[in-house]
Structures are given as C-alpha cells and as structure tokens.
Amino acid sequence: MKLILAIVRDSDSDAVTQALTSSNFRVTRIASTGGLLRRGVTTLMIGVEDGQVDAAIQLLHERTTPSSGDEKQAVVFVMNVEKFMQV
C-alpha cells in the first residue's frame, strides 16, 4: 500500500478531489499553507494499492490547470505504508 500526499492549488482542489473520488479513490483534504507553491494550497492524502499509484497521479495531472513560467501544478510525494487500519 502507498500513501500519496499531493499539494495542489486551492483553485484545482475541487476538480482533483471529484476526479479521484469518481474513480473510487479515497481522499482526505487538508487546508494547508506553506511555501511549496507560494499561494493557497490544499493537501490531499490518498491511500492506494501499489498498482493504483500511476492512475492516481495521472488524474492529478489531468485535473490541475497548466501553470505559467516555473510555477508547479502540484507537488506529489509517494510513500510506502507499513501498516493500515481503521479503528
């Protein structure tokens, strides 16, 4: 299992979240601030099976609006999950 942390612009967060949930990915949205994108951002936590990582990242790429200059569309971290449980 993998955990994808995606930091996207606030303006893209609704479209990205809707696309992910429509494709049966579970998403947790966290309002966040920071210097990675230098403007309002939302952090998305997406838990996926190993084989779903590329599909989730593809949706992120498709649903974020193109940026101008050196501005990034999103910052994405993919991490191994050693243990997952719901209590």
d(C-alpha 44, C-alpha 47), whole Å: 10
pLDDT digit string (tens) for 5-36? 999 988 899 999 999 999 999 999 998 876 65
The whole-model pTM stands at 0.87
Residue 7: inside a domain: yes
86 within a domain of the structure (yes/no): no
Interval 46-68: pLDDT, tens: 999 999 999 999 999 999 987 77
Q: Which domain holds residue 62?
A: 2-80
* Residue 69 lies inside a defined structural domain of this protein: yes
Q: What is the CATH number of the domain that holds 73?
A: 3.30.70.120
Total tally of structural domains belonging to the chain: 1
Return d(Cα 57, Cα 60) in angstroms, integer: 5
φ, ψ of residue 65 to 5 degrees: the values are -75, 145
The answer to whether residue 85 sits within a structural domain is: no
Is position 23 within any domain?
yes
